[in-house]
């Protein structure tokens, strides 16, 4: 009996120890990493979950930047939606943040927070008994995903001529910490030799958040318009450096351009010509993504009929 207890204790210690060791594992890249951007939530009590039809109640949301990109004042914009505004005494307009919303860093694990007051809600319609309503809010903000991928530059030509193989020419190059925390992620960079002196990069860009992504050149208000939105929807601006990397973008072949995600994902093909050297070598492949992102939150409220 005693032996069994000792065994259980030992196994538990090993399991706990293993978990701690895993948690302490350092990122291999310069970024914290993660798939979060700006989170939005209604502030408890604003509005209250239940109130009378005669009450005027505040509507406030809390924005928290859990990604690694700072957002300037006024750039993150918030509005309630999905209701007929005059019924609630609220306005059909975005409200911007009043100051910078700082992102997380290796040293600051908590991102910046800001409360945005949307307005005061006063239900203007007659109520019989009660009405259950879901109040929804959305945040629209510009964001950037940065990535620093250690690519292996070399070619079949170098390899076949017996050049030194310092790094792996073929395979996955995205490591932990090589992509900054943001809702749009570079989830894979798979490289392979292409022709005699070229490297092919297959870069997977994915919407890893819960929201929607849009062309950053559009304003948040533009996404209310069906035509403008269909132009902007799922468009991400991509810039790959070094500048001699050529990718197949929507408009042309370049190191910068636009892609359109299909079902939240796009595999972008890029090529780089490698000069003849004595050996292959590692070089940073910087892939920066720019976009506008919209995330949402909701809360349920009950508006009761006023009884004196």
Partner 1 sequence: MKILKLIIILIPLLFIAQCAQFGQRAPSGQGISLNFLKNQPPIDLLYDNQNFRVGLELTNYGFKDTKASVCVYDTVADFFGGIPSNVCEQVQINAAEKSGNNIIPEVKQVYFPSKSQTYFYKEITKGMTTNIISDVIYPYETKANSQICIKRDENVKTTGVTCELSSAEQVIQDSAPLTVSNLKKDIIPRGNNEISLLITFDVQKTYGEILDKNKISQPTDEDKLIDINLNLKGITQNFICNPNKAGRIVFKENQKTIKCEAILTLSQDYIVNPLEIMINYAHKVSKSTGAIKLVIEEEI
* Residue 35 or 245 having the CB closest to partner 1: 35
Of 15-23, 86-94, 200-208, 283-291, which segment contacts partner 1 by CB under 8 A? 86-94
CA angle 168/171/173 to nearest 5° reads 85
* Residue 7 or 81 having the CB closest to partner 1: 81
Is 131 among the residues that bind partner 1 (CB under 8 A)?
A: yes
Coil, helix or strand for 228? helix
Q: How far is the CB of 238 from partner 1 (least distance, A)?
A: 23
Give the separation between CA 199 and CA 274, rounded to whole angstroms. Answer: 7
Residue that is written with structure tokens 């005059």 in the block: 86
Is 263 among the residues that bind partner 1 (CB under 8 A)?
A: no
Q: How far is the CB of 55 from partner 1 (least distance, A)?
A: 18
Give the separation between CA 285 and CA 117, rounded to whole angstroms. Answer: 42
Q: How far is the CB of 308 from partner 1 (least distance, A)?
A: 12
Is 87 among the residues that bind partner 1 (CB under 8 A)?
A: yes
Give the separation between CA 111 and CA 209, rounded to whole angstroms. Answer: 17
H or E stretch covering 175: none
Cis bond leading into 25, ω under 30°?
no
Backbone torsion region of residue 82, taken as left when φ is above 0, otherwise alpha when ψ lies between -120 and 50, otherwise beta? left
Coil, helix or strand for 184? strand
Of 81-89, 159-167, 195-203, 262-270, which segment contacts partner 1 by CB under 8 A? 81-89
Phi, psi angle pair for 229, to nearest 5°: -65, -40
Q: How far is the CB of 140 from partner 1 (least distance, A)?
A: 13
Is 296 among the residues that bind partner 1 (CB under 8 A)?
A: yes
Question: CA 160, 166, 172, 175: dihedral to nearest 10 degrees?
Answer: -170
Contacts of 189 (CB under 8 A, 6+ apart): 149, 151, 172, 173, 174, 201, 202, 203, 204, 285, 287
Is 81 among the residues that bind partner 1 (CB under 8 A)?
A: yes
* Residue 16 or 84 having the CB closest to partner 1: 84
Q: How far is the CB of 86 from partner 1 (least distance, A)?
A: 6
Of 31-39, 49-57, 76-84, 273-281, which segment contacts partner 1 by CB under 8 A? 76-84
Q: Among 224, 231, 244, 278, which residue interacts with partner 1 (rule: CB under 8 A)?
A: 224
Q: Among 77, 212, 287, 291, which residue interacts with partner 1 (rule: CB under 8 A)?
A: 212
Q: Among 7, 16, 84, 306, which residue interacts with partner 1 (rule: CB under 8 A)?
A: 84
Q: Among 4, 22, 24, 128, which residue interacts with partner 1 (rule: CB under 8 A)?
A: 128
Strand-strand pairing, 113-121 and 57-65? antiparallel
Is 307 among the residues that bind partner 1 (CB under 8 A)?
A: yes
Which residues here bind partner 1, judged by CB under 8 A? Answer: 81-84, 86-87, 92, 124-126, 128, 131-134, 136, 211-212, 224, 226, 296, 298, 307
């Amino acid at each position: 009996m005693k032996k069994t207890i000792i065994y259980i204790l030992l196994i538990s210690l090993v399991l706990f120890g293993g978990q701690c060791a895993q948690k302490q594992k350092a990122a291999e890249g310069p970024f914290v990493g993660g798939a979060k951007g700006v989170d939005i939530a209604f502030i408890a009590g604003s509005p209250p979950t239940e109130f009378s039809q005669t009450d005027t109640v505040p509507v406030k949301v809390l924005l928290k930047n859990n990604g690694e990109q700072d957002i300037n004042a006024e750039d993150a914009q918030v509005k309630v939606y999905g209701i007929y505004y005059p019924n609630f005494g609220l306005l059909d307009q975005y409200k911007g943040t009043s100051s910078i919303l700082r992102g997380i860093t290796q040293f600051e694990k908590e991102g910046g927070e800001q409360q945005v007051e949307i307005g005061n809600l006063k239900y203007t319609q007659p109520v019989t008994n009660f009405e259950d309503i879901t109040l929804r809010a959305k945040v629209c903000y510009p964001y950037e995903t940065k990535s620093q991928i250690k690519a292996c530059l070399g070619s079949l030509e170098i390899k076949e001529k017996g050049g030194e193989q310092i790094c792996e020419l073929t395979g996955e190059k995205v490591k932990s910490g090589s992509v900054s925390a943001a809702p749009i992620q570079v989830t894979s960079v798979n490289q392979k030799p292409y022709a005699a002196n070229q490297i092919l990069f297959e870069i997977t860009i994915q919407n890893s958040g819960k929201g929607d992504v849009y062309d950053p050149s559009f304003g948040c208000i533009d996404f209310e318009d069906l035509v403008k939105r269909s132009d902007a929807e799922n468009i991400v601006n991509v810039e790959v450096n070094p500048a001699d990397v050529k990718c197949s973008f929507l408009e042309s072949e370049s190191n910068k351009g636009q892609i359109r995600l299909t079902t939240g994902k796009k595999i972008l093909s890029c090529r780089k010509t490698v000069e003849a050297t004595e050996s292959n070598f590692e070089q940073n492949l910087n892939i920066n993504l720019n976009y506008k992102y919209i995330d949402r939150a909701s809360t349920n409220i009950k508006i009761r009929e006023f009884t004196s």
